[in-house]
Structure 1
Amino acid sequence: MTTDFTGGGDPRRSIELLWGLPPGPRPGPKPRFAVADVAAAAVEIADADGLGALSMRRVAERLGVSAMSLYTYVPGKAELIDLMFDRVLAEAPRDTVPLDEASGGWRDRLEAIARQNFALYQRHPWLLQVATSRPPLGPNVVAKYDHDLRAVDGVGLGDVEMDLVVQMVGDFVHGAARTAVAATQVAQRTGLTDEEWWERAGPALAKVYDPDATPIATRVGAAAGAEYNAAVDPSRAFEFGLARLLDGVAALIERATG
C-alpha cells in the first residue's frame, strides 16, 4: 500500500498555497486555473483510483494542461498532498452553535466527531494512506483542530490532556476506518463476500486445525462466529471500541474534577 506524507515539501511554499497567499510576479499568460482547481482534480483522481494512481502528470491531463505548466501552480506532489488533505477536511461539519452550548455534553460531541471522521475516511479512503506527523498547516486543518478541541473545552482537563484526548479519538477512528475500508476492498477485489470466503476456507481449515491445541481461541472464535454469522463486521468493533474509549475519557474527567 502506498504511503505518502504531509509536510514533505517546502513548508513555506505549502503554507502560502494553503492560505491563498498571492505568488510573486511571474512571466507568461494569466493562469487558467486556481490552486484550488488543481487540488480538486487531484482529490478526484485519488478518490477514483487510489493514492498510488496520483501523479502530477495525471492531474495535468485531467485539467488539460501539460505537466510542466502544472508546476507553475504547485511545485510538486508533496505540496499537492498538503493541499488535498486540507481540502477534504473542509467537508467536516462545523457546528452552527458553540459546542459548549450544544445539547448532550462532551461525550455526545466527541462521539459525533468520531462518526464524522469515520465517514470522511470512507468517502476518501486514500486519507488512510497519508501520514500526518507533520500536519499541513492549512485553514481547514486548523479550523477542525479548534472545533474538535472545543468538544472537551471547559470540562476540567488541562490543555495538554485536551490535545491528547482529541489525538486519541482520531487515532482510534483512523484504525477502525482502515479495517472497515480494507474489508470492503478485499470483497471487491476477490469477488467473494465474507460468508462465501468462510464457506471455502472452513472445510480446508477443518482438515488441519486441532481445537484442543488452542481451546480458548476455539471457544471464543466459535462464539464470535455465531454472533456475527461468520462475517467480519467492522462497524460492530467501531461501536464497541468507541464506547469503551469514551468511558475512559469520562474516568479521566472525573479524576481531574473529583
Structure 2
Amino acid sequence: MNQEYSGSGDPAKSLELLWRRRPQPTRGPKPALTVDQIVTAALKVADTDGLAAMSMRRLADELGVGAMTLYRYFPGKGELLDVMLDTVYGELPRRDVPGEWRAKLDEVARENRELYLRHPWMLQVAISRPPLGPNVMAKYEWELSAVEGIGLSDVEMDSTVALVNGYVHGAVRTAVEARQVILRSGMTDKEWWLAHVPHLDQISDLAKFPLSARVGTAVGSEFDAPYDVDHAFEYGLERLLDGVSALVVNRSAPEG
C-alpha cells in the first residue's frame, strides 16, 4: 500500500477548507464547483479504485473540468486529503450507548471498524497529525466521553482512546487484506484450507510440532480456515477492554 499522510498540506489553507471558511475564487469566471462537490467526487474515486487512483487529474476528469480548475479550490492533494478524512469521520453515528464505560468504549471500536471497512483507503493514511476539522473534533469529543469520569487522568483518557483506535486500525487492516486475498485468488479461506489439509500429513512431520498440530487442527475445525477475522476482532477487543477495566479498578481501589 502506498502511504499518505494527513496534515501534509498548508495548515492555514487546510483549516480554511475544513471549516469552510475559505473564500470562493474571485479570479476568472464564476465558480462552477463547490468544495463539497469536489470532495464527494474524490471519495467516490478513492472508495472505488483506491487512494492511489485519486489524482487531481483523475478527479478533474470525473468532474468534467480541467485539472487547473481544481487548484482554484484546493492548493494540492494534501489539503484535499484532510477534507476527505474529516468528511468520512462525519459518517460516524456517534451513538449514545446506555450503560457503563465498557459498553461505550465497545461502541467506539465498532463504529470505527465499520467506517474503515466502508472506506478501506483510510488505512493508507497516517494520521499522527489529524486534520483538525469539525468532524474530527466531534469524533474525539465523543470518544473521550466514553471514559469521562471513570477515574482516569486526562492523559490516560487520551491514551485509552488512542489504544482502542490503534487496535481497530490493525484489526481492520488484517480484515481488508483477507478480503483482497479472496478477490485476487478466487478462493475462499474455507476452500483454501480444504485444499491444503489433505496434504499436510504427507509433507511435514507433525510429531516435531505437537502444539502447532493440536492448536492448528482445533482452529481449522472451528472456522474451516486458519484464521477468522471476526473472531479475532471480538477476542482482541474483549481482552483490550479487560486491560482497561483492570486499570479502572486499580484507580478506584482504596489504598492501604
TM-based fold match above 0.5: yes
Distance 1:8 1:197, change over 3 A: same
Superposed CA offset, 1:51-89 (max 9, x none): 121101111111111111111111111111111111100
Provide the C-alpha distance between the structure 1 equivalents of 2:174 and 2:201, rounded to a whole number of angstroms. 26
Counterpart among 205, 211, 220 of residue 216 in structure 1: 211
Q: What count of residue pairs does the alignment treat as equivalent? A: 253
Counterpart among 144, 163, 172 of residue 149 in structure 1: 144
Provide the C-alpha distance between the structure 2 equivalents of 1:123 and 1:50, rounded to a whole number of angstroms. 12
- For residue 27 of structure 2, give the secondary structure of its aligned residue in structure 1: coil
Structure 2 partner of 1:31: 31
Q: TM-score, normalised by structure 2?
A: 0.94
Provide the C-alpha distance between the structure 2 equivalents of 1:250 and 1:243, rounded to a whole number of angstroms. 10
Structure 1 partner of 2:8: 8
- For residue 212 of structure 1, give the secondary structure of its aligned residue in structure 2: helix
Superposed CA offset, 1:10-36 (max 9, x none): 111111111111337631112111112
Q: Which amino acid aligns with 1:15?
A: L
Deviation at 1:190, TM superposition (A): 1.0
Show the 5 A alignment for 1:119-138: 119-138=114-133
Q: Which amino acid aligns with 1:227?
A: E
1:177 matched to 2:172:
yes
1:109 matched to 2:87:
no
- For residue 192 of structure 1, give the secondary structure of its aligned residue in structure 2: coil
Provide the C-alpha distance between the structure 2 equivalents of 1:5 and 1:207, rounded to a whole number of angstroms. 48
Q: Which amino acid aligns with 1:89?
A: Y
Asked if structure 2 preserves the Cα contact closer than 8 Å seen for 1:183 and 1:232, the reply is no
1:234 matched to 2:218:
no
Q: Which amino acid aligns with 1:12?
A: A
1:80 matched to 2:100:
no
Provide the C-alpha distance between the structure 2 equivalents of 1:200 and 1:25, rounded to a whole number of angstroms. 60
Structure 2 partner of 1:255: 250
Asked if structure 1 preserves the Cα contact closer than 8 Å seen for 2:24 and 2:73, the reply is no
Distance 1:25 1:237, change over 3 A: closer
Deviation at 1:112, TM superposition (A): 0.8
Q: Which amino acid aligns with 1:237?
A: A
Provide the C-alpha distance between the structure 2 equivalents of 1:53 and 1:6, rounded to a whole number of angstroms. 17
Superposed CA offset, 1:76-108 (max 9, x none): 11111111111100001134xxx5xx5211111
Identity %, equivalent residues: 53
Q: Unaligned regions of 5+ residues in structure 2, if any?
A: none
Q: TM-score, normalised by structure 1?
A: 0.93
Provide the C-alpha distance between the structure 1 equivalents of 2:195 and 2:179, rounded to a whole number of angstroms. 19
Counterpart among 159, 177, 188 of residue 183 in structure 2: 188
Q: Which amino acid aligns with 1:94?
A: R
1:49 matched to 2:44:
no
Provide the C-alpha distance between the structure 2 equivalents of 1:77 and 1:204, rounded to a whole number of angstroms. 50
- For residue 22 of structure 1, give the secondary structure of its aligned residue in structure 2: coil
Q: Which amino acid aligns with 1:80?
A: L
More divergent stretch after superposition (21-30 vs 222-231): 21-30
Tell me the C-alpha RMSD between the 2 structures: 1.5
Provide the C-alpha distance between the structure 2 equivalents of 1:11 and 1:122, rounded to a whole number of angstroms. 28
Provide the C-alpha distance between the structure 2 equivalents of 1:54 and 1:209, rounded to a whole number of angstroms. 46
Provide the C-alpha distance between the structure 1 equivalents of 2:22 and 2:2, rounded to a whole number of angstroms. 32
Deviation at 1:41, TM superposition (A): 0.7
Deviation at 1:161, TM superposition (A): 0.3
Provide the C-alpha distance between the structure 1 equivalents of 2:33 and 2:86, rounded to a whole number of angstroms. 18
